[in-house]
Structure formats: C-alpha cells, structure tokens
Amino acid sequence: MSFRVIEVSYPHNYENRIATTIESKADAIWTSANGADGMSKAQIVVSTADSQTVLDALESLLGGGDNWHMVVFPVEAVVTPEGEKEDAEEDEKSKKTALREEIYQEISHSCQLSPDFITLTILSSLVAAIGLNTDNIAIVIGAMVIAPFLGPLLAFSFAAALGDAGLMIKSAKTALTGLSIGFAAAFGFSWLTGVNLDSAELMGRAVVELDSVTLALAAGAAAALSVASGLSSALVGVMVAVALLPPSVAIALFLSAGELELAGGAALLLTVNVVCVNFASQVVFVLKGIRPRTWLQRKSAKRSRGVNFFVWGVLLLALLVLIVLGTQHVGELPQ
C-alpha cells in the first residue's frame, strides 16, 4: 500500500478536533507535539487513497483561521508485515489520482510567464522555423522537445475543472503571449532568410485533415492523464508541442512569404489543435474526479465546466465541418 505524510501546524485549541478528524481514518497513523508558541504540529501517515479526503477534512476544519499550514511529503518506501501483500496488490489495482493540491501547484508554476518560458519559446520557435524551412524533420522534433506550451494549455483546462477564473486568465495570457512571441521570432527569422515553399514539412502544415483532430485529441487526453495520475509529463509535452509549435511557426513563415491562403490553412490547423487539446484534457480532468473542495466552489466549477464544454464542443463541430468540406473540395479538383 502506498502512503503520503501530511505535516500540519495548527493552534493548540484545535488539538481535540484534529485528533477526531485524523482518527476517523482507519489507515492514518499520527503523532503530535505542542510548541511554546501556542502552535501544535502533527505528522500524519495516511494511505494514498485517503490522502485527499484527509487534506479536505483538515482544510475544512482549519479554514476559518489563517494561523495554520500543511505540507505534503511523498513516501519513497514503506516497510510492512508480510501479511499486507494482498493489500498492496489491491492498492496497485485501485484508481490513482494525484492530490488536487499537488496538481494545482505543478500546473500553476508551469504556466508562469517567466524569463525561462520566454527564452524557451523563442528558441523552440527559431529551431522549428529552421527545421520547417530546411525540410528537416529531426530539427522540427528537436524544437518540440524544448517547447514550453504544455503548461499553459493544461492549466486552462484544470482551472476550468475547478472553476478558478484567476488561473484561467493567467494561463490564457501566458499561452497567447507565448504564441505571439514565437510567431514574432519565426517571422523575423523568415524575413531575414527567406522561405522555402518547396519544403514538404512546411507545406504539410497548411493541410488540415481528420487525422489532425485525432492527434490533437490524443495529445490533450494523454497530457491531462499524465498530470492527473502523478506521472511524468515530459514525453506528452512533446506530443502537445507537435500540435501547437509547427503550425504556429508555419503561419509566420507563410505570411512572411505573402502566401495568405497557405497561412490560413496553418491557422486552421492551429485552431483545430488548440480546441481539441483543451476539450480532451478537460474531459480527462472531469473523469479523474478533479473538483473543488467545498459545495459552493463545486457549484461554480460545474457552471464553468458546462460553459467550457459547450464552447469547445461548438468550436470543434464547426471546425470538423470546415475540414470535411475542405477535404471534399480538394477531392473535386481536376487532376
């Protein structure tokens, strides 16, 4: 069975209520100590399956004051009696979800508009522009490895699942700023070096087909699942970058070359990918049970999810119609 350690600091007068809250959890093991500053500190060892419930109960109990804090530590290993092997096997089969607070901290940090984010955006866009212009798929893949677009997109979907308007605005600003900076870097590069319209890698970003929708939906779902399950998101970050970086850079290259129709195709591909990634990731967060702690927050989050699902769903249907009509139009052209 896997465990987490929760360390909570609280005023002395909460001692009995803290004890009642913790002892109601069968798997919780805890110790406490009183300090001379009027504060008590407890360390709680609780099963991973119960850790979110314990955190929510403690936060509900202590939320009325501001003189408390909680820290969660992962447990690398636990020594248990031989007889608990069956419990461990059951735990492995159980549904695992990272703590809401852990996901929030990771995602909130990843969508900050920091100097590192801006630098990686510029570098990845320049590398992608070189790869597309020279028809070199290896260079394009290298650009996607360093592209930092996963954080803002997942933060937007996660914020929608929680009804956190502040995080939604923050992540949207970061994503739009990143795309704008990347566009400017790629446009400046192509203005200086010219554009190779014979590049298959570049021209392929002006075509939107149904497999583009499948790719973007899979990327969004995989990214959200990796974060919600507490797994590494490095590889799925590359998958998300596949959906966002090349088409955004291609728009800049086509506009620099004066190819408005090709730029429009790349813009359509980028729009399809953004919509699909957000729609799929939000579905996964909802299915994994990501929701706020309190009833009032859950009501607000439900309204937020409903609005987002409706908007993304309508956009996705409209884009699918455009793709189907465009494919039929191409098929009707004389050979």
Q: Which domains does the chain have, with CATH numbers?
A: 3-93 (3.30.70.120), 100-332 (no CATH)
Q: Are 179 and 248 spatial neighbours (Cβ–Cβ below 8 Å)?
A: yes
More confident residue, 122 or 20: 122
Q: How many C-alpha atoms does 138 have within 13 Å on its Cβ side? A: 0
What is the distance between the alpha carbons of residues 215 and 132, in angstroms, rounded to a whole number? 19
- The whole-number pLDDT of residue 1 equals 60
Judging by beta carbons within 10 Å of its beta carbon (0-12, 13-18, 19+), is residue 74 exposed, middle or buried?
Answer: exposed
Judging by beta carbons within 10 Å of its beta carbon (0-12, 13-18, 19+), is residue 204 exposed, middle or buried?
Answer: middle
Instruction: Outline where 134-209 has alpha helix (H).
Output: 137-146, 150-162, 165-193, 200-203
Q: How far is CA 115 from CA 17, 46, 148, in A?
A: 45, 38, 12
CA 100 to chain CA centroid, Å, is 13
- The whole-number pLDDT of residue 108 equals 76
What is the distance between the alpha carbons of residues 294 and 57, in angstroms, rounded to a whole number? 10
- The whole-number pLDDT of residue 288 equals 79
- The whole-number pLDDT of residue 335 equals 41
Q: Give me the chain's average pLDDT, please.
A: 77
- 32-46, 139-153, 252-266, 297-311: range with highest mean pLDDT: 252-266
Q: Name the residue with tokens 């189907």.
A: 324
- Residue 127 pLDDT > 90: yes
Q: Which range (8-12, 84-88, 240-244) has the least confidence? A: 84-88
pLDDT over 70, % of the chain: 77
Q: Are 52 and 37 spatial neighbours (Cβ–Cβ below 8 Å)?
A: no
pLDDT over 90, % of the chain: 16
Q: Are 281 and 315 spatial neighbours (Cβ–Cβ below 8 Å)?
A: no
Q: Which range (26-40, 84-98, 185-199, 267-281) has the least confidence? A: 84-98
Query: How many Cβ atoms from other residues are within 10 Å of residue 35's Cβ?
Result: 10
| 69-74 sheet: strands from edge to edge | 29-34, 39-47, 3-11, 69-74
- Residue 184 pLDDT > 90: yes
More confident residue, 59 or 80: 59
Q: How many C-alpha atoms does 325 have within 13 Å on its Cβ side? A: 6
